[in-house]
Structure 1
Amino acid sequence: MITDPALQREYYEALLNKNPAYDGIFFAGIRTTGIFCHATCTAKKPKFENCTFFHTAEEALLSGYRPCKRCHPLFYPQQIPAEVRNLVEAVEADPARRWKEADFQALGVHSATARRKFKEVYGMTFVQYARARRMGIAFKEITHGETVINQQLATGYESSSAFHDAFSKIMGNPPKKANSIILYMNMIATPIGRMIAISTEEALYLLEFIDRRGLEKEIERLRIRYDARILVGNTSIHKQTTTELEQYFNEQRTQFSVPLMYSGTPFQQEVWHALEQIPYGETTSYTGIAHNINRPTSVRAIGNANGANQIAIIIPCHRVIQQNGDLGGYGGGIERKKYLLALEAEKNGVSD
């Protein structure tokens, strides 16, 4: 999301004037209708205070906006392959769907083709697009105190069922038991991508990059584990997490003090606590962790526990590399892992 006031004003003027030079430069989310548009959209122009501006379509989708049916912002440039158009329309017809190979076959498109062509046009794969659409619906901020499950809001559907299904599948229906808890979700912008933070007023339960594969399942498991309902909200823990992450990325913090809820098995928690002991600016391997926790035969299980970590950066699984020095995998993507390790190495006075 674009927060620079000067850019916001510049883009709003471009939107008012339907300036074609700005098509593809920004996308305008309209809060009153829930849609996002190109600069040249011919629809009635909103007030400035009702606009949110984004650099990419994916950001707009993840913020809960749907593509405008008049200017078709996802069809920019206009020379969009027919397969891509058909897939976009299929997602809009059923945005809650989790796509399987059979769904692609029914449309006469191979999943690999969809992945490649979406990447070429939008800079994200089709699966990322479909996930962004689902997550955007689920995480759309509920305004004016309205209840999410009972409100269609301005999502643009002829019925509220798609909104209801996408939201309740991930976030859950209102708790039926007196001991059910409420978890609050909010977004955090970082230099390497937006993150989802889920917390109570007492502890942080989840912190993940929003495009992490399997994120929806992680959230569902978390909700089921605590018999919880997840709502959009801004807790003191979220504010603390945001502040500490900003300090971390500005090289002003090497340790975090956010209270954490370790949502895992005793073994997983043992591994996560070991991860927290890896010094800032240093790395270790699964074998090293196995030695540190006196479980020399549990290297594979330690790798699985590392991958199950739901609190990225703060529980620093990015500091685990392969024994031969290769970086290995990372749930947030290998480029982010490189960035984080380079950031910490620079702060720690380490050079290549």
Structure 2
Amino acid sequence: MLMTRPSDDTLYQALLSRDAAYEGFAYVCVTTTRIFCRLTCPARKPLRDNCRFEASIAACLDGGYRPCKRCTPMLRLGEGEPTIRALLDDLERAPERRWSEADLLALGYDPSTIRRIFKRRFGMSFLEIARRRRLSHAVTTLGTGASVIDAQLEAGFESGSGFRAAVSQWLGAAPQQVKSQSLLKAAWIETPIGPMLAVTCDHALHLLEFADRPALQAELTRLRDRNGRAIIMGRTAVTDRVSEQLAAYFEGRLTTFSLRIGDHGTPFERQVWRALQEIPSGTTASYRDIAEAMARPTAVRAVARANGANQIAIVIPCHRVIGTDGSLTGYGGGLWRKQWLLRHEQRAGTNTTS
């Protein structure tokens, strides 16, 4: 019997191998998707830096994570208890519903019995679980301009400090900040060379990176801090345009993107990024070429740093930059992707239209 909690590295290896020996002993919380899973979940495995491990479902919910729909950790733990299964099914169908003991009585349940069963299985009562699931609804309420107290009551939090702590941990911003700023929304976009995370607002694209980029979590933190805006999972009209144009690009039908990009970076970085967008599809340029085109021939190293600071892959085509000797240089998405993208653009050639 395991008497002490294994290290996070051990748990991550158990996640990668779907080791059933750790089933129910710990759960993985994925910080990028805000979802928690069983260690045997068949879904694509997250990066190590994007994983938190918790010993209980209660701790996962307290952190603002939602149960995975593929491995259904809560339903799995409720197997053998028809009452638990029935109530969790109701909760999945309407996670925004505000439950009370009267609702349980109306369904023919004894509230004290339900409380005891759920406490034993999950470490928290059914009503507590339901309240945490309403947290996402409270964020939507804040986004409409409602007061923090209204959103707090909507979420069912009696404690103002508890509500603020829950929202801050989930979104990385205090409720008052969420209310005063429009939210950035992150969504996954599938591509032939791996999923990408797109972060948009209602007007512009702010980040587009491959899911396994090592610096992704740091980029999200930097984006949030620079904008003073919380990031939640969701889509905007801009997300749909990004998805459509990426699909056309990968199908060889588009070489030039027409997307509004958020105003990030220093004036020099933005100048470099504009220069990157002027490199024709199917061709390449060196850092020196870019520096000379900008009439800054001595700024080769600064150009390289600005190229590395680009957080909008493909649309701002930093993959088209190679070494002066023609060699492939570093690429945050991996050199194999850089080579794939260059070959894809060369194959598309004159058959593509912008």
Verify same fold: TM over 0.5: yes
- The letter for the 2-side match of 1:128 is L
Shift of 1:167: 3.3
Distance 1:266 1:139 in 2: 38
Equivalent residue number for residue 147 of structure 1: 135
Superposition pairs for residues 186-265 of structure 1, below 5 Å?
186-265=187-266
Structure with larger Rg: 2
Could you say if the C-alpha distance between residues 262 and 62 of structure 1 is closer, same or farther in structure 2, counting changes exceeding 3 Å? Answer: closer
Task: Tell me the equivalent position of 1:131.
Answer: 50
Q: CA deviation at 1:197?
A: 0.8
Structure 1 counterpart of 2:268: 267
Is this contact kept in 2: 1:175–1:227, CA < 8 A? no
Relative to its length, the structure with more helix (as a share) is 2
8 A Cα contact 1:306 1:317, kept in partner: yes
Unmatched 5+ stretches in structure 1: 1-26, 28-36, 44-57, 77-121, 153-158
Query: Deviation of residue 64 (structure 1)?
Result: 4.6
CA contact (8 A) 1:290 1:297 kept: yes
Q: 2:170 aligns with which of 146, 162, 167?
A: 167
Structure 2 residue aligned with 1:287: 288
Q: Which AA in structure 2 matches 1:271? A: V
SS in 2 for 1:176: helix
Unaligned runs of 5+ in 2: 1-14, 54-59, 69-94, 97-132, 140-151, 156-161
TM-score, normalised on structure 2? 0.58
Task: Give the counterpart letter for 1:320 in structure 2.
Answer: V
The 2-side partners of 1:324 and 1:249 are apart by: 28
- What is the CA-CA distance between 1:281 and the residue it aligns to? 0.5
Is the alpha carbon distance of 1:202 and 1:140 closer, same or farther for their aligned partners in structure 2, counting shifts above 3 Å?
farther
For residue 347 of structure 1, what is the aligned residue in structure 2?
348
* Contact 1:139-1:232 within 8 A present in 2 as well: no
Q: Does the C-alpha gap of structure 1 residues 175 and 294 become closer, same or farther in structure 2, counting only changes over 3 Å?
A: farther
- Answering whether residue 40 of structure 2 is matched by residue 73 of structure 1, we say yes
Give the distance between the partners of 2:305 and 2:65, measured in 1 at CA.
28
* CA deviations over 1:209-253 (Å, ceiling 9, x no partner): 122122122111111112112122210000000000011011111
In 2, Cα distance between equivalents of 1:66 and 1:139? 6
Q: Which amino acid aligns with 2:48?
A: Y
Q: Deviations over 1:80-110 (max 9, x none)?
A: xxxxxxxxxxxxxxxxxxxxxxxxxxxxxxx
Matched with 1:317 is 318
The answer to whether residue 308 in structure 2 is matched with residue 307 in structure 1 is: yes
Deviation at 1:179, TM superposition (A): 5.0
CA 1:273–1:287: 2 relative to 1, 3 Å: same
Matches within 5 A, 1:9-48: none
Is the CA contact 1:175–1:229 (under 8 Å) kept in the aligned structure 2? no
Instruction: Give the direction of change, closer, same or farther, for the CA distance of 1:344–1:287 in structure 2 (3 Å limit).
Output: same
Query: C-alpha distance in 2, partners of 1:138/1:324?
Result: 49
Identity percentage over the alignment? 36
The alignment partner of 2:285 has SS state of coil
Distance 1:250 1:163, change over 3 A: farther
Amino acid of the structure 1 residue aligned with 2:311: Q
Matched to 1:283, the amino acid is T
Note the alpha carbon deviations across 1:283-307, whole angstroms, 9 max, x for none: 0000000000011111001100000
- What SS does the aligned partner of 1:198 have? strand
Q: Deviations over 1:244-286 (max 9, x none)?
A: 0011011111111111113100000000000000001100000
Give the RMSD, CA atoms, in angstroms.
Answer: 4.2
Taking the aligned partners of 2:65 and 2:267, their CA distance within structure 1 comes to: 31
- Alpha carbons of 1:208 and 1:123: their partners in 2 closer, same or farther (altered >3 Å)? closer
Shift of 1:201: 1.2
For the residues of structure 2 that align with 1:139 and 1:339, how far apart are their CA atoms?
35
Shift in Å at residue 348 of structure 1?
A: 1.0
Q: Which amino acid aligns with 2:184?
A: L
**What's the offset of the Cα at 1:38?**
9.4
User: What is the one-letter code of the residue matched to 1:199?
Assistant: T
Distance in 2 between the 1:38 and 1:290 partners? 52
Q: Which whole-Å deviations, capped at 9, do the CAs of 1:331-352 have from their partners, x for residues lacking one?
A: 11111111111100111169xx
1:162–1:174 CA distance, 2 compared to 1 (3 A)? closer
Residue 206 of structure 1 aligns to a residue whose secondary structure is: strand
Q: State the one-letter code of the partner of 1:338.
A: Q
